[in-house]
Amino acid sequence: MRKGFRPSLAQRIIIAFFLMSLTVAGTFAVGTVLTVHFLEERLLSTELGGDLDQLLLMDSMDDWRHQPRPDQYFHFDGGPGPFAVPDDVVRLPQGFHELFRGDQAFHAMVREVDGRRYALLQDQSDFRRRETLMYAVVFTGLVLSLVLAALLGWLLARKVLAPVMRLARQVRHRDQLLALAPPLAPDYAPDEVGELAAAFDQTLTQLRQALKREQLFTSDVSHELRTPLMVLASSAELLLENPALDPRARKQVLRIARASTDMRDLVQTFIQLARVETGQRALSPQADLAEVAGELVEHWREPIESKGLRFDYHADAMPPGLYNAPFLRAVLGNLLRNAWHYSDSGRICLTLTAVGFVVEDSGAGIPESFREAVFEPFVRGERERGDGLGLGLSLVQRICAHEGWDIRLLPVAPHGCRFEVRLI
């Protein structure tokens, strides 16, 4: 659905000035026109009525011939020649009227005395031209006032919004988040913009504190979790060396070893991603796609095939270049883990392409209405499965968004999922 017009604050100020000027100047222009028309009718009707009364008081037709002004024409019923009542005057009732004969304009006063109709016409062509000129002046004044109002609105909008735009530029500056910029409120007057700057300073202080806590948490996780994870991994290795370990126990120890390895990689990935997102420079190892894919295929082939699934790996093509190895390993590893976890039969296929890679499985699949939600944190595809917290695909989405990679989830017939990751 197309969104309606949403004017900016500057546009609203200009529109307000324009509408106010249109209301005031338009009211003045209409009032001027109506007043002129009303006065014209009153004055001219009084003048013509007085002239007609004087003519009616005269005794002879000779006086009538000489008395009217050059721009006036006197007519009466039964009058000879020029005194005859014209056809367009015969139908007029008594009173004041306006007549138009081509380009000529006349004002007429009609009277009936003792059953006889008298009419006095006055040529108003010159007056009409002056009146038209006055209307043009009024209209031109209205247009100029609207243009001036729009110009004043634009200038005022620039003046009023200048501190707001300055504040916006300061807010967008990256130094604000890095705690390198001084507070903004002292640079502004104690008005509405100053209050906005003070509110931003307060909110930014809270955000910086939250980022600081996250950085401290990242450091604590990096320091505190590595040791117990290494203890778990080494203990699992020692247990696997025990020949007296029965197959069921050995399977559980292998699961513990694999989980500790995955945990170590996941913690390392989260730490690196948090450092990158907070602006810290991190020197990450680089690797091509084939190298990372080869490591993960070797790691996942045994658990996938031990579950009764067929694992196909096709590396006929590969995108050029090197990529952030921990991030690439986390994305591909999580997609393979999800495929292994949610597939009970069939196959899992990893295919390297010229632009990225594809992970396809024959698992239960994900409904179309649920495909966008699976990339949110703590959302799992099948809730009845107890393993997992629903962080894998969320981490994949965050990494892809940060690295500029594109990930798409497509269905597979008759069931299953297909994740396409485009690296270039």
Closest CA to 73 of 109, 20, 114, 41: 109
Provide φ and ψ at 320, rounded to 5°.
-75, 160
The verdict on whether omega for the bond into residue 414 sits within 30 degrees of 0, i.e. cis, is yes
Q: Are the C-beta atoms of residues 327 and 306 closer than 8 Å to each other?
A: no
Provide φ and ψ at 71, rounded to 5°.
-95, 10
Extended beta strands in 292-370, E state: 310-314, 323-324, 347-352, 356-361
Query: Residue 195: enclosing H or E segment and its boundaries?
Result: helix 192-224
Residue written as tokens 């690196």?
A: 272
Sign of the C-alpha dihedral computed for residues 239, 243, 249 and 252 taken in this order: positive
Closest CA to 360 of 314, 405, 399: 314
Structure token pair of residue 16: 């307000």
Q: How many other CB atoms are found less than 10 A from the CB of residue 407?
A: 18
Q: Give the pLDDT of residue 335.
A: 92
If the chain, 424 residues long, is cut into consecutive pieces of 10 residues, what is the mean pLDDT of each piece? Answer: 66 86 88 82 79 71 58 77 79 83 81 83 78 85 88 85 79 61 77 81 79 69 72 82 82 81 73 63 77 91 90 90 88 91 90 94 78 66 49 82 89 86 91
Each domain of the chain, given as residue ranges in start order, spans: 9-145, 174-224, 225-281, 284-422
169-210 residue pLDDT tens? 777 765 655 556 677 777 777 877 788 888 888 887 887 777
Q: Give the pLDDT of residue 218.
A: 64
Closest CA to 422 of 352, 357, 326: 357
- For residue 138, give the 3-state DSSP assignment: helix
Q: Are the C-beta atoms of residues 380 and 390 closer than 8 Å to each other?
A: yes
- For residue 420, give the 3-state DSSP assignment: strand
- Burial category of 356 from C-beta neighbours within 10 Å (exposed 0-12, middle 13-18, buried 19 and up): buried
Fold for domain 284-422?
Answer: Heat Shock Protein 90 (3.30.565)
Q: Are the C-beta atoms of residues 122 and 71 closer than 8 Å to each other?
A: yes
332-346 residue pLDDT tens? 998 998 899 888 889
Provide φ and ψ at 350, rounded to 5°.
-115, 125
**One CATH from 3.10.50, 3.30.450, 3.40.50, 1.10.3470 for 9-145:** 3.30.450
Structure token pair of residue 132: 């038209």
Closest CA to 260 of 277, 236, 244, 242: 236
- Burial category of 298 from C-beta neighbours within 10 Å (exposed 0-12, middle 13-18, buried 19 and up): exposed
**Using H for helix, E for strand and C for coil, what is the string for 375-389?**
HCCCCCCCCCCCCCC
DSSP output for 199-231: HHHHHHHHHHHHHHHHHHHHHHHHHHTHHHHHH
- Burial category of 74 from C-beta neighbours within 10 Å (exposed 0-12, middle 13-18, buried 19 and up): buried
